[in-house]
Amino acid sequence: GEDVEQSLFLSVREGDSSVINCTYTDSSSTYLYWYKQEPGAGLQLLTYIFSNMDMKQDQRLTVLLNKKDKHLSLRIADTQTGDSAIYFCAESGESDYKLSFGAGTTVTVRA
Amino acid sequence: ETGVTQSPTHLIKTRGQQVTLRCSSQSGHNTVSWYQQALGQGPQFIFQYYREEENGRGNFPPRFSGLQFPNYSSELNVNALELDDSALYLCASSSDTGQLQYFGPGTRLTVL
């Protein structure tokens, strides 16, 4: 989506940490999300964060939000081969019913 | 708990034809949203249905239409198919137009 931007590719060694970055333009965004899409599949909601939070941790996943810079990141600790997928950043507004997605970051985990 | 299901999985149509895609929402959810995902792109919002009424629409022409049924399942209809309609069509369900949307596996539509 034109309001959400992500880098297109990331290559990471198995066992290392991955960091996927996203920027958004809508200052009224209230929810920010990370979805995962494996080949030929739908989207899996990985995690989300409210705009009044700075950080959220969920097992191997850490989301950081810099609201001032409108920057969102997803860190995956101890990256595994099963983490190879396309990761989408998305946002929605307070009264907004739609998700606006970035173009996705393709993460490749190499042995 | 049953997740979001979509049918069919794949579909091939020719230009000018009409197509109907179906979605069953996750149990306990009353809102369905439809998205179009072209190859290599992120999903684009088509419209949302809440309590059988259209609750919002993205930048898609009127030949994209939908329905929601009393059991909260939904249909997406596309008339006068064009080559650019070839995409993965994703359905997502949520509770009371809530912003946590859970997606189905999608229907891959190919227009020849």
Nearest C-alpha in B relative to A91: B99
Q: What is the pLDDT of residues A42-98, one digit of tens each?
A: 999 999 999 888 999 999 999 999 999 999 999 999 999 999 999 999 998 876 778
Q: Does B95 touch chain A (CB under 8 A)?
A: no
Contact B100 A45 (CB under 8 A): yes
Q: Which residues of A touch B43 (CB under 8 A)?
A: 43, 88, 99, 101
In 3-state terms, chain A is what percent helix, strand and coil (to 5)?
A: 5, 60, 40
DSSP string, B45-102: EEEEEETTEEEEE-S--TTEEEEE-TTS-EEEEE-S--GGG-EEEEEEEESTT-S--E
Q: What is the pLDDT of residues B11-23, one digit of tens each?
A: 999 999 999 999 9
